[in-house]
Amino acid sequence: MKGFLLDTNICIFAMRDKYGVNERLESIDPQQCFITLFQLQSCGSWTSQAAKPSEAGAVMLVSMA
């Protein structure tokens, strides 16, 4: 199975809307994107630290898992 493993940096860039990561993620089939359990677990702590969690992009990343 081919796909994209979203590492910690990619997840952080997506949540901070940097470097065009969100645009690239939107162009990829969500069923081809994968994150590790570490990133999934860490999303809660990252979003709790974000100023505006609803805009952090974590919902998009979790739904792609």
Residue 59 pLDDT level (bands cut at 50, 70, 90): very low
More confident residue, 6 or 44: 6
Question: What's the pLDDT tens digit per position in 22-37?
Answer: 999 999 998 898 888 7
For the chain, which residues make up each domain, given as ranges? 4-64
Checking if the pLDDT of 17 tops 50, the result is: yes
Overall average pLDDT of the 43-51 stretch = 55
With CA atoms as reference, report the closest residue to 13 among 25, 30, 3, 4.
25
What pLDDT was estimated at residue 50? 52
> Do the Cβ atoms of 14 and 63 come closer than 8 Å?
no
